[in-house]
Amino acid sequence: MTITKNKVALIHYTLKDDTGEVLDSSEGREPLAFIQGIGNIIPGLEEKLEGKAVGDKIETVIGPEKAYGLRSDDNVHIVPLSSFQADGDEKLEVGMQVRVETNQGVSLADVSKIEGEEVTLDLNHPLAGETLHFNVEVVDVRDATREELDHGHAHGPGGHHHH
């Protein structure tokens, strides 16, 4: 069986940036489980994994346009410090991540600057603008269950767990 749309694939992967620094890896964890072809993983990786089978190993470089997109100033917002006062007693600091309401629902934003009463929030994905270097090994390919397709994600080891 090969990886095609609506198959569940399990992969081990290591992700490095341009400098060779490891950003993420499944080493020492369950392999990552995802449904192919529905956007569970970045488009560039779906493309490279299409048609691959168990045991296949790939090494690939994916530009930001097929990964997490380019950084955009539209995703940087200045909000008043007073809008955070209701969030309990934790002091707001640069580098913290906060939850914010956006048109697309709740999103994570980095606090990138605090100046007087103004807080700069960066909603760009942390990997926006990055070229990603992947080493991937396919460890399993199977049919997705009806429930998995309904939910839009893989279940079981390496996938989603519902309680």
Taking the least distance from each CB to Zn ion, the nearer of 35 and 121 is: 35
Binding of residue 16 to Zn ion (CB under 5 A)? no
Binding of residue 156 to Zn ion (CB under 5 A)? no
Binding of residue 151 to Zn ion (CB under 5 A)? yes
At its nearest, how many Å lie between Zn ion and the CB of residue 161? 8
Count of residues that interact with Zn ion, criterion CB under 5 A: 2
Q: What ranges make up the beta strands (E) of the chain?
A: 7-16, 22-25, 32-35, 57-62, 76-80, 97-102, 105-115, 118-122, 132-143
Among the listed ranges 8-16, 54-62, 121-129, 154-162, the one in contact with Zn ion (CB under 5 A) is 154-162
Helices H / strands E in the chain, number of each: 2, 9
What would you report as the CA-atom Rg of the chain, rounded to the nearest whole angstrom?
Answer: 19
By the criterion CB under 5 A, which residues form the site for Zn ion?
151, 160
